[in-house]
Structure 1
Amino acid sequence: MSVEEGESPGSGQVGTDDTASLGPRERVRPTWGESLARHASAPFGGITGRHAAVGRHWFWTPLRAALLIGVVALTLGWFAKAPCIQQYDAGNGQLELDWRSGRQFVAMCYSDIVPLYSAERLDQGGFPYATSWFDDEGKPTQHERFMEYPVITGMFQWFNAKLAQGWVSLAAAGWLPSGLPVVVYFDISAFWLALAWLVTIWAVARTARRRPWDAAFIALSPLVIVHAFTNFDTLATAFAAVGLLAWARKQPVLAGILLGLGGAAKLYPLFLLGPLLVLCIRSGHTKVWLRTAVAAVATWAAVNATIFLPEATRRGWGEFFRRNSDRGADPDSIYNVIMHFTGWSGFDGPLAFGESPMILNLVTAALFLLCCAGVAFIAWHAPMRPRVAQLAFLVVAAFLLTNKVWSPQYSLWLVPIAVLAVPRWKPLLAWMTIDALVWAPRMAYYLGEGQKGLPEDWFLGFVVARDVAVLALCALVIYEIYHPARDLVRQYGEDDPAGGVLDGAPDRFVLHRRTPAPVE
């Protein structure tokens, strides 16, 4: 049952939050409080009525609906990358990948997964971290290379390459459809990456508790359509999201194991230990946090030890750290924006080939630590203990904003925790849309002005717009931390759905105690 336009689902106007009408365990109905959801519901019968039979359908739950939406969005994401896995006959029946005339940039379908198949020597069947090669061989810039990704991500690529090569062998025997090995490799990788994003949706829906429809908003994110298959980052988002779910369910050791596994895929899930620490200090649960931290570090160390300890793979294991240390400011970093528009030569000035930008590395690390100190101050100074997701969003956003590298797919890191931190659909959609749209000028910039591409100024202008959008979300999160009555999660009588032992815990340590604003 739904109400018609103009009728009230609660005590006032259509779409007005009606917190008093919800029971202590009843789901929040987004069509009541989110105008975006209210308008989107019009083709499906309008907003939910006061006496609607909610939660009684034998199959369709908010989680299953979110997973279905996620499948649709991921399918669109695969089709967006499909032009980059097209094949053509190069003569004599020899098939090659069709990246002629800058197709990967013109069609805006570029994915790191495709070139990495050969760039990381996965097509040669060697074991990652043990296989080395030389880039720029015979030139003054010749240098030895190894697999450049953390252990879990590197092994994920190797495993998919083996599956792809097995598929091609069976196809040659006439048992399976045929295709270029790199195309089969991309499709297999995309399948697992899509599954990882569905796990992310599932974990967020379970963590949000009374707001399961927020997970559907994650599934619909434009960033998913654009970047789910740009690289391998959905592996890390899955580990991070399930780790937060384990923490929310008061399983600190399991949470630590999952965050440690995430850190072995991409480093950022380990950053979540920081917000948990400062919140545990405020509530006096540092022993619980210590169990999580020990489990995370031990898991990360155990996974990396499998590659670090054998002498044959030790040098290859360090490639990830060497590459990140030697990289300069990427085109989409705030440092490159400043250098381009001001003519500044950077902190280190011109560098010789292979020389590490030591000052830039120190500056980025110092700025990130300074931001983390600011987040800790907010956590201890706020009138009411912030929620885990709020601080997690601030820390990950601070890392991206201050880091010398912001690869486009890194924005996926923010999507799950942003929805948990500030479940306001309009601001979130505005940021996600701006961030996703950066992909178009990025591709046009990489195409080159000589190929009718976009000048760097235009691309960097979009980068600045993205950074401003993220900063605006950070400001909104901080505002709601200091004005908890404005927090949509706490408006419905909850404290911290992702808090675990922190949920409802009293304060033990604050920098400035004052009476919290009433939660209406």
Structure 2
Amino acid sequence: MTVADRVVPTWTEPLATGASAPIGGPLGRHAVVGRHWFWTPLRVCLLLAVATLALGWFSKAACAQQFFNEDNKTLELDWRANRPFTALCYSDIIPLYSAERLNQGGFPYRTKWVDDEGKPTAHDRYMEYPVLTGLFQWFNAKLAHGWVALSTSPWIPNGLPVVVYFDISAFWLALAWLVTVWAVLRTHRRRPWDAVLVAISPLVAVHAFTNFDTLATACAAAGLLAWARNRPVLAGILLGIGGAAKLYPLFLLGPLLVLCVRSGRMAAWRSSALSAVLTWIVVNFPIWYAYPDGWGEFFRRNALRGADPDSLYNVVMQWTGWAGFDGPLGFQQTPSVLNAVSAVLFLVCCAAVAFVALHAPTRPRVTQLCFLVVAAFLLTNKVWSPQYSLWLVPLAVLAVPRWKLLLTWMVVDALVWVPRMMFYLGVDPSNAKKGLPVDWFLGTVVLRDLVVLGLCAVVLYEIYRPERDLVRQTGEDDPAGGVLDGAPDRFTLNTAKLRGRVVPAGRPADELRT
């Protein structure tokens, strides 16, 4: 593929055209491009991602400040005066260092402790994260302890172990997001500049270091790239690794299944699915075998969780006074009806996506269906932690690369963080007059969900009107499709297709493989 085959965003995207004004305006029609020895699209996108990640680190740095406590003459983490909420810097990484007993050096899933000891709510606890994420935290804690032990020289920066732990974790999480940017850019080779949206996303600046989700986005994006390069086994391995960090990368096997059914490419899907399942088992089996109770903590605690503050279920409960599907629950009681409802709604949405995949006149692109499935999970799930929105960023850019639309969603989604923190500030009765009412927070949640639904509607529209799909307007069928790219249909629910052969969008008839 030559440089001339690339889509030039300053010619096609009004947002890019305006943004190019400080550096000379849109690319000239006769400009010579692609010959600079260093400034390739990949390096530019990675540099922009580094800048955004640095901004993200600085946004959390206020919560990693230290102060000397004159009362007990010790150096302590400065979370005085509700700093995590007033400075909007809250990160799960910092409190989890002690909450998951990482500060004690024990091995996760083996280490057990009692929460609320001495109270009626006392209960046993283990590491609550999936295996790879739990081991990632433990590994970083060990590195932090080693750094603190070795940093006796005045020339080596040092600090509280929790601060060192946060910085080490942030380093690896930033690398994972750079992998995400790289994978997105390589997946759509004719549209490399779309990866700029992954690099500069406001969601990255706010949530890259809120939790550990960039590990999963890197695996999911790299898995889709491997699939695009006709390497289904490698794709399955990467999705399996991602599933051992967060479950959502395994959801991507569903869209691949229905598209392989439609195109008769089931051998590739079986290879990918089998390698994903085996990889997940290989990663999880040693922990499950050695520490079954610790391994099961993730599933137990997720089953016990009620409607998350960011979920639509909570919005309805707060605004109507409804007690929820299960009514008032006691300590450690499972919201069984809520769990069932959210699971059934997600499965119904998956069935609808499968119908669209088999019914659309032209086979949908892989990333279009992947985006719809993950968005459906977030919208129907009882938990939408703020950092989960990172899952959608690479998928949205690959599915519907409309810059203004995507940046609008990202800004709205990122801004949910502000009323969320201000609401939590007022939860403490002593700060009731300092925080925002819950309605401000719930309103932004609804707005965020409506914008995501709008993105889903655009994706569905372009599935049924492939001539409006910006990716297919470049003349390609499905750059992320791998074995599906340009493949003719073998099975479809569209009766019109049964009467004749339809050429996939962007492919002339003589290029179809039979």
Q: Please, what TM-score do these two structures have when normalized by structure 1?
A: 0.94
1:194 aligns with 2:174: yes
Q: 1:264 aligns to what SS in structure 2?
A: helix
Instruction: Measure how far apart 1:93 and its partner are.
Output: 4.0
Task: Return the alpha-carbon distance in structure 1 between the equivalents of residues 492 and 158 of structure 2.
Answer: 64
1:465 aligns with 2:418: no
Q: Which residue of 2 aligns with 1:222?
A: 202
The residue type equivalent to 2:280 in the other structure is: W
Q: Which residue of 1 aligns with 2:9?
A: 30
Q: Which residue of 2 aligns with 1:245?
A: 225
Q: Which residue of 2 aligns with 1:54?
A: 33
Q: Which residue of 2 aligns with 1:115?
A: 95
Q: Which residue among 494, 499, 502 is the counterpart of 1:512?
A: 494
1:316 aligns with 2:300: no
Task: Return the alpha-carbon distance in structure 2 between the equivalents of residues 143 and 457 of structure 1.
Answer: 33
The residue type equivalent to 1:447 in the other structure is: L
Q: Which residue among 5, 11, 24 is the counterpart of 1:45?
A: 24
Q: Which residue of 1 aligns with 2:82?
A: 102
Task: Flag structure 1 segments of 5+ consecutive residues without an equivalent.
Answer: 1-21
CA change 1:291–1:57 in 2 (3 A) is: same
Q: Which residue among 407, 411, 435 is the counterpart of 2:413?
A: 435
Q: 2:435 aligns to what SS in structure 1?
A: coil
- Check the 8 A contact 1:383/1:517 in 2, yes or no: no
Task: Return the alpha-carbon distance in structure 2 between the equivalents of residues 140 and 425 of structure 1.
Answer: 53
The residue type equivalent to 1:49 in the other structure is: G
The Cα offsets for residues 201-234 of structure 1, whole Å up to 9 and x where unpaired, read as 0000000110000111110100000000000000
Q: 1:83 aligns to what SS in structure 2?
A: helix
Q: 2:326 aligns to what SS in structure 1?
A: coil
Task: Return the alpha-carbon distance in structure 1 between the equivalents of residues 217 and 505 of structure 2.
Answer: 32
Q: 1:88 aligns to what SS in structure 2?
A: strand
The residue type equivalent to 1:80 in the other structure is: S
Instruction: Measure how far apart 1:491 and its partner are.
Output: 0.6
Deviates more, 1:390-399 or 1:85-94: 85-94
The Cα offsets for residues 86-105 of structure 1, whole Å up to 9 and x where unpaired, read as 00010254110000111000
Q: Which residue among 198, 205, 210 is the counterpart of 2:185?
A: 205
Task: Return the alpha-carbon distance in structure 1 between the equivalents of residues 404 and 12 of structure 2.
Answer: 12
Instruction: Measure how far apart 1:176 and its partner are.
Output: 2.3
1:80 aligns with 2:41: no
Q: Which residue of 2 aligns with 1:379?
A: 357
Task: Return the alpha-carbon distance in structure 1 between the equivalents of residues 260 and 158 of structure 2.
Answer: 55
Instruction: Measure how far apart 1:314 and its partner are.
Output: 1.4
- Check the 8 A contact 2:378/2:384 in 1, yes or no: yes
Task: Return the alpha-carbon distance in structure 1 between the equivalents of residues 303 and 197 of structure 2.
Answer: 36
1:169-318 equivalent positions in 2, closer than 5 A: 169-172=149-152, 174=154, 176-310=156-290, 313-318=291-296
Instruction: Measure how far apart 1:413 and its partner are.
Output: 0.1
Q: Which residue of 2 aligns with 1:90?
A: 69
CA change 1:280–1:519 in 2 (3 A) is: closer
Task: Return the alpha-carbon distance in structure 2 between the equivalents of residues 175 and 89 of structure 1.
Answer: 21
Q: Which residue of 2 aligns with 1:138?
A: 118
- Check the 8 A contact 1:485/1:518 in 2, yes or no: no
1:356 aligns with 2:338: no
- Check the 8 A contact 1:327/1:356 in 2, yes or no: yes
Q: 2:442 aligns to what SS in structure 1?
A: helix
Count of aligned residue pairs for this structure pair: 497
Task: Return the alpha-carbon distance in structure 1 between the equivalents of residues 398 and 292 of structure 2.
Answer: 39
Q: Which residue among 478, 485, 505 is the counterpart of 2:467?
A: 485
CA change 1:471–1:108 in 2 (3 A) is: same
CA change 1:25–1:252 in 2 (3 A) is: farther
- Check the 8 A contact 1:339/1:346 in 2, yes or no: yes
Task: Return the alpha-carbon distance in structure 2 between the equivalents of residues 177 and 518 of structure 1.
Answer: 58
Instruction: Measure how far apart 1:306 and its partner are.
Output: 1.5
- Check the 8 A contact 2:11/2:17 in 1, yes or no: yes
- Check the 8 A contact 2:476/2:505 in 1, yes or no: no
CA change 1:434–1:81 in 2 (3 A) is: same
Instruction: Measure how far apart 1:295 and its partner are.
Output: 0.2
The Cα offsets for residues 436-487 of structure 1, whole Å up to 9 and x where unpaired, read as 0000000001101642101111100000000001000000000000000000
Q: 2:471 aligns to what SS in structure 1?
A: helix
Q: 1:341 aligns to what SS in structure 2?
A: helix
Task: Return the alpha-carbon distance in structure 2 between the equivalents of residues 235 and 475 of structure 1.
Answer: 28
Q: Which residue among 363, 371, 374 is the counterpart of 1:396?
A: 374
CA change 1:139–1:68 in 2 (3 A) is: same
Q: Percent identity?
A: 72
Task: Flag structure 2 segments of 5+ consecutive residues without an equivalent.
Answer: 507-514
Instruction: Measure how far apart 1:345 and its partner are.
Output: 0.8
Q: 2:496 aligns to what SS in structure 1?
A: coil
- Check the 8 A contact 2:477/2:504 in 1, yes or no: no
Q: Which residue of 2 aligns with 1:4?
A: none
Measured on the aligned residues, the alpha-carbon RMSD in Å equals: 1.4
Task: Return the alpha-carbon distance in structure 2 between the equivalents of residues 294 and 165 of structure 1.
Answer: 39
- Check the 8 A contact 2:3/2:33 in 1, yes or no: no
Deviates more, 1:41-50 or 1:90-99: 90-99
Deviates more, 1:57-66 or 1:22-31: 22-31
Q: Which residue among 297, 309, 329 is the counterpart of 1:331?
A: 309
The Cα offsets for residues 396-428 of structure 1, whole Å up to 9 and x where unpaired, read as 000000000000000000000100000000010
CA change 1:103–1:178 in 2 (3 A) is: same
The residue type equivalent to 1:485 in the other structure is: E
Task: Return the alpha-carbon distance in structure 1 between the equivalents of residues 139 and 153 of structure 2.
Answer: 22
Q: Please, what TM-score do these two structures have when normalized by structure 2?
A: 0.95
- Check the 8 A contact 2:3/2:34 in 1, yes or no: no
Q: Which residue among 44, 61, 67 is the counterpart of 2:46?
A: 67
Task: Return the alpha-carbon distance in structure 2 between the equivalents of residues 177 and 262 of structure 1.
Answer: 33
- Check the 8 A contact 1:329/1:336 in 2, yes or no: yes
Task: Return the alpha-carbon distance in structure 1 between the equivalents of residues 496 and 89 of structure 2.
Answer: 53
Q: Which residue of 1 aligns with 2:510?
A: none
